[in-house]
Every structure is written in C-alpha cells, then in structure tokens.
C-alpha cells in the first residue's frame, strides 16, 4: 500500500511524527496545542491589569489561580480528546506498525467520523473550558477571596474572555491543519463512506464563528479600555456617575450593534463564498451520476469563478472524450463484426471470385472507405492483376483489366515485393504511390499483402478521403481480414482445382466404362427374361410397363424392364432403382473379376511360353516352340514365323 509514501511526500514533518507516535499522535497534538495557549494567561492578566488596576498581591494571586485553572482545563480537554478518538487512535497505531490498514468497514467508518468531528468537538470543548474554568472560576476567586470590586470583576471577566476567544479561534484553525496526515491515513476506501459526515462543519459555519468571535474579542478588548480611560480622566473632574452610566450603556449598546452588524456581514460573506461551492458540489453530484451535459454556474469573478470555469472545461473534455470513446467502441465493434463476417465468407464460399467480391463490398460499406480493391499476383509473378474493386472507379478499372507491376513504384507492388504492409497517411508526402486519375480524392492509402505462409498471392488495397485515417487498430483489423481473405482465396482455388480434377476423373471413368463394356459386349446384347408363375396376363387388366436404367458412373449400360398389372407407387420405384444400382455395381464387379481372371490367365500362359522358349537351345527350336505355342494359345488354324532382312 502506497499510503505511507504519499503522506510523507506531502507533509514530511507531521507524517514522520505520525509514523513515530502512531496511536498517541492525536493526544500529542492536543497537548501541544493546549501548551500553545499558555501565553494567553499573561495576555489576560495584562488586559485585566490595564483596566482593573490590581495590586501586586492581587495580580500574583490571580496569576497563580489562572495557571491552576488553565492546567485543570487543559487536562480535561486532553482526556476528553483521548476518549473521543479511541477508534481513530487504534487505527493509527495499526498503520504505524504495519504500514497499512486491514479492511474493517465498521472500524473504518467510526474512525473516519471521529477524525472528522474532532476539530469541532475540540474547539467547542476548548471554548467551554476557557470560559467556565479558566475565566469564571478565576473571577469567582477574585471577587470572593481577593475582594475585587464589581468593576474589577467585570474587567477581569472581559479580560479573561479575550484569550478564551483567541484559544477557540486558534483551536478551529490549528487542529484542522494538524490532523491532515491522520485524515489521509483514515480515509475510507469507498467513496460513499468518504462522503459520510463530510459536512459536519461547513465553511460558512467556520467563517461565521471565527468572524463573530473576532468582533467580540475586539469589542471586549477595546470597549473596557476606552471606558476605563474615560472614567479615569473625567470622573475626578466632574464627580458625577450619571455621565459614565450613560457612557456604559452607550458602549454596551454600540458593542451589541457592532456584533449584530458583524454577524450579518460575515453571514453574507460566508454565503457569497459557500453558495458557488454548494452549486459546484451539486453539479459534481449530477456529473457523478453520468450526466456530462451539466455545467457549473460561474457566479463570481474570483478564484471560485475561476474554479468553476476550469471545472466546466474539464467536464467538456470528459464529455468529448466519452463521445470519442463511444465512437471508437462502435467503430471497433463494427470492425469485429466485419472481421467475423469475412471469416464466415471464407468458411462458407468456395468460389474465389465470389469471395473477393463479397469482401471488397463488405470492407467498403462497413468502414466507409473511398476505394477498396484486391489484386492477385499473375502466374508470371511480374504483375498484380485487379480482381475486384468498389465504386464506379473500380468498375472502370476492372473493365480495363487494370494491373500494377510488382515493384516499389506503387504501394500494392511494394507490399507484394516486400511482404510488408505499406501505409501512406498523407499521399501528397508519400514517395511510393501510384497516382490514379480515377481516384482524385484519396488522402491516405494502405496496401496489405495477402500471405499464404511465406508466399504472397496478392494484396488488399484500401484508400480513404481522410488524412491519417489508418490507425494501428484499423491496420490490425485490415491485416486480420487480409489473412482470412488469403486463406479463403487459396482454399477456393484449391477446391476449384480439385473439382476440375474430379470432373476430369469422372469423364475418364465414364469413358473407361463405355469402352470396357463396349469391348465386352462387342456389339452384342446380354438379355435375360423371367416369367413368374401364376401371374399370367389378363386381357381385361391394364398392363403397366416399368423400365429402370442400369447406370454405372453416370453411364447407362443396360436397363431392367418390368410388366405388371398391380399398383405401382414411388416407394416401389425407389426400391427398384436401388436394386438396379446394386445390379450395375455387381455387373461391374463381375466384369472386373472376369477381366482379372483373363489377365491372370494370359500372364500364366505368357510365363509358360517364355519358360519353354528359355528352355530351347537352337534357333530352329525357339522358332518352332514360339509358333506352336502362340497358335495353340490363340487357337489359330495356321501359324507362321519368318526371319528375314529386307534390303
């Protein structure tokens, strides 16, 4: 898991401290932050001393009391923080030991809720402790034990509220910053869990609270000082309390009005900041649901307005990317469909010309290409002849018997000669291309060899009216089609040759059957008739004559003729035809057996004559033996053998 590395890169000091302290990181941060509030004791005593005019003993006693109260309050805040973040601390301890977190949905959500709520809980608790323990308890001690006057007690209370408010403001700002590394570690894996409790404290609330607290602190800091100095300067001169009572009321009223006015101003200010953010979040939510037509409203001209503009530009690009991706998916699907269709054509059609025509039209229609053609290498190997092409230009070129030389002067010739695809993404800049006047709109072209093993049988030529129209996936698809086309053409060619060979064999067999049976019959006819007893012809019954041919290898060598007075249906016809086929085969087998027997007899006779000839020792004996044996074997009435030399 790369969480540790990411955190260390972003916030090295805090991340390393988190790695070392683990489960004690949050208590340590709370302790350090509370210690940072100790200078507030001196600030409060300084403000009180300016207004209340404490004696040395009162100041020292107040300081000691404030120190003790603050220590007690700090302990309370730290203990509550530890108890509130127990699950988050446990998860951080696990991460510091192993470098990763085991997936536990319940623990993950609880720890995330605790770390999200910590800044608000911590600031609220700090404020309560600062007011009730650090301020009210000290004032109570001063009034009852140090004998403060009511004015001194009021000055002390106001003076204690100023550092208390400062502590709350610092707690809100500092705790958020210090828990950044812990938030990144405890971030849930699921986006739904990340959004849970994400709006515990909104930006508007933080701005409003901080703004109002600043105004209150300012009023508490300045109003008592102004009142005290006015009282000191004027009261001793006029000796009247009425003026200062009026002044006190006016200051209190003015302070309340300033606080109310500040509350309204900061409310408007926070809304002016958060409204564009809320609108942007709503737009984000709609975009997340898949509606990329949404655009954020540009409501301001500040950084938030710039953020909305950048967001709109990002969504526009995502929308464009999605549309392009969908188009690419559709195009790729069409390519696969066309490739599968080529494969189907290759496996079902065995006529080369039909295969070529179907493939050319399929590629042209499926990919919307300007021109598609297939060339086949001639038997000489010097020319690539056009077999089929798309469009009117293709018809004209086929009528002209268009062909290209197998050399480097054209993409088709170069593809065939090099056995490699040739691509011209910009035909104007291509050094190798045949400029065809019938195709003036071509802007990019590709030629792919039709390979059968190491042998090239032709080329697939595709031209487009768009520049750089052949992307790697298009080339791969066309290459796959070219391979299937090559196999289909070669298979169709082999099948056609086999069909022609079989037809020739059938003709030879038919001629052999005709000649064999003609020699056997020698102009005569073999005929056999049979009469079944009990089936005498009736003069009243209708006689039906059925004739079924004896066919052998599509040649008729005879027929079977039947006469019957019964019913005759198609089943009987089929049965007789099947028997006739078996009769013809049996006759052929009998002929072949008889022919074989005759051949064997001739072989034996030849062997006997040769043996007798080899047994003769003189010319007369050889001549006598030869003429005697030949005449006897051929049953000749007279046999003569003569030796002479014609001049």
pLDDT tens for 474-517 read 788 888 888 888 887 788 778 878 888 887 777 777 777 667 66
Bridge partners, residue 452, by sequence: 455
Which residue intervals of 555-618 are DSSP H helices? 570-615
**Average pLDDT for the chain:** 75
Which of 171-185, 445-459, 561-575 bottoms out in mean pLDDT, i.e. has the lowest? 561-575
Cβ-contact 360, 390 below 8 angstroms: yes
* CA distances in angstroms from 165 to 171, 228, 266, 323, 332, listed in the order given: 10, 22, 17, 55, 66
Angstrom distance (rounded) from CA 285 to CA 297 = 14
Cβ-contact 377, 451 below 8 angstroms: no
Higher pLDDT, 450 or 158: 450
- Domain positions in the chain are 1-189, 202-288, 331-493, 544-615
Distance of CA 571 to the CA centre of its chain: 63
Distance of CA 453 to the CA centre of its chain: 33
Residue 165: is its pLDDT beyond 80? no
Per-residue pLDDT, 275: 67
SS3 463: strand
Higher pLDDT, 299 or 141: 141
Per-residue pLDDT, 352: 78
Which of 257-261, 362-366, 456-460 bottoms out in mean pLDDT, i.e. has the lowest? 257-261
Q: What is the largest CA-CA distance in the chain?
A: 189
Parallel, antiparallel, or unpaired for β 444-452 and 555-564? unpaired
Distance of CA 60 to the CA centre of its chain: 75
Q: How many residues does the chain have?
A: 647
Angstrom distance (rounded) from CA 620 to CA 622 = 5
Which of 47-56, 172-181, 374-383, 528-537 bottoms out in mean pLDDT, i.e. has the lowest? 528-537
Instruction: Let me know the angle formed at the C-alpha of 525 by 520 and 530, rounded to the nearest 5 degrees.
Output: 125
Higher pLDDT, 210 or 136: 136
Residue 9: is its pLDDT beyond 50? no
* CA distances in angstroms from 560 to 528, 545, 548, listed in the order given: 10, 10, 5
Q: What is the mean pLDDT of residues 573-583?
A: 77
> Helix %, strand %, coil % for the chain, to 5?
70, 10, 25
Q: What is the mean pLDDT of residues 245-261?
A: 59
SS3 540: coil
User: Token digits for 466?
Assistant: 């768009």
Say how many Å lie between the first and final Cα of the chain, rounded: 114
Per-residue pLDDT, 474: 78
Distance of CA 155 to the CA centre of its chain: 71
Q: What is the mean pLDDT of residues 31-43?
A: 80
CATH of the structural domain 331-493, one choice from 3.90.550.10, 3.30.830.10, 3.30.450.40, 3.40.718.10? 3.30.450.40
Per-residue pLDDT, 1: 41
């Amino acid at each position: 898991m790369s969480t540790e590395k990411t955190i260390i890169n972003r916030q090295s000091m805090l991340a390393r401290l988190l790695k070392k302290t683990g489960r004690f990181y949050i208590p340590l941060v709370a302790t350090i932050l509370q210690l940072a509030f100790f200078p507030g004791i001196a600030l409060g005593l300084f403000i009180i001393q300016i207004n209340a005019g404490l004696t040395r003993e009162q100041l020292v006693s107040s300081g000691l009391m404030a120190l003790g109260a603050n220590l007690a309050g700090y302990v309370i805040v730290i203990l509550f923080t530890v108890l509130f973040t127990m699950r988050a601390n446990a998860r951080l301890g696990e991460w510091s030991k192993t470098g990763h977190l085991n997936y536990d949905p319940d623990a993950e959500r609880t720890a995330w809720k605790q770390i999200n709520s910590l800044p608000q809980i911590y600031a609220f608790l700090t404020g309560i402790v600062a007011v009730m323990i650090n301020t009210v308890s000290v004032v109570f001690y001063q009034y009852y034990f140090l004998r403060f006057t009511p004015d001194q007690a009021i000055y002390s209370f106001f003076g204690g509220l100023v550092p208390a408010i400062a502590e709350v403001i610092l707690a809100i700002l500092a705790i958020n910053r210090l828990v950044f590394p812990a938030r990144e570690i405890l971030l849930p894996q699921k986006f739904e869990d990340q959004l849970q409790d994400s709006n515990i404290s909104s930006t508007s609330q933080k701005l409003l609270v901080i703004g109002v607290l600043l105004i209150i602190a300012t009023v508490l800091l300045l109003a008592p000082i102004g009142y005290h100095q006015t009282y000191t300067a004027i009261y001793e001169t006029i000796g009247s309390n009425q003026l200062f009572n009026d002044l006190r009321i006016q200051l209190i009223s003015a302070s309340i009005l300033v606080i109310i006015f500040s509350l309204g101003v900061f409310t408007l200010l926070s809304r002016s900041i958060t409204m564009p953010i809320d609108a942007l979040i709503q737009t984000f939510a709609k975009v997340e649901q898949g509606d990329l037509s949404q655009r954020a409203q540009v409501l301001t001209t500040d950084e938030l307005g710039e953020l909305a503009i950048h967001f709109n530009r990002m969504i526009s690009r995502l929308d464009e990317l999605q549309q392009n991706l969908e188009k690419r998916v559709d195009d790729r699907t069409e390519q696969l469909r066309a490739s599968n269709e080529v494969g189907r054509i290759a496996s079902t059609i065995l006529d080369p010309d039909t295969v070529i025509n179907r493939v050319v039209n399929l590629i042209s229609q499926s990919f919307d290409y300007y021109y598609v053609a297939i060339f086949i290498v001639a038997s000489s190997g010097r020319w690539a002849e056009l077999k089929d092409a798309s469009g009117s230009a293709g018809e004209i070129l086929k009528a002209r018997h268009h062909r290209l030389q197998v050399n480097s002067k054209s993409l088709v010739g170069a593809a065939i000669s090099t056995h490699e695809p040739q691509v011209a993404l910009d035909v104007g800049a291509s050094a190798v291309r045949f400029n065809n006047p019938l195709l003036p709109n071509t802007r990019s072209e590709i030629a792919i060899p039709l390979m059968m093993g190491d042998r090239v049988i032709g080329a697939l030529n595709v031209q487009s009216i768009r520049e750089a129209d052949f992307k790697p996936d298009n080339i791969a698809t066309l290459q796959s089609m070219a391979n299937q086309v090559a196999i289909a053409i070669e298979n169709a060619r082999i099948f056609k040759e086999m069909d022609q060979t079989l037809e020739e064999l059938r003709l030879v067999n038919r001629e052999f059957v005709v000649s064999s049976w003609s020699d056997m019959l020698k102009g005569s006819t073999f005929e056999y008739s049979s009469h079944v007893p009990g089936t005498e012809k009736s003069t009243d019954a209708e006689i039906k004559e059925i004739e079924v041919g004896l066919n052998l290898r599509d040649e008729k060598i005879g027929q079977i003729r039947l006469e019957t007075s019964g019913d005759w249906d198609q089943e009987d016809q089929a049965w007789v035809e099947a028997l006739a086929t078996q009769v013809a085969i049996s006759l052929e087998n009998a002929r072949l057996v008889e022919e074989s027997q005759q051949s064997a007899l001739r072989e034996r006779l030849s062997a006997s004559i040769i043996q007798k000839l080899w047994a003769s020792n003189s010319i007369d004996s050889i001549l006598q033996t030869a003429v005697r044996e030949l005449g006897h074997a051929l049953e000749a009435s007279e046999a003569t053998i003569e030796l002479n030399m014609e001049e």
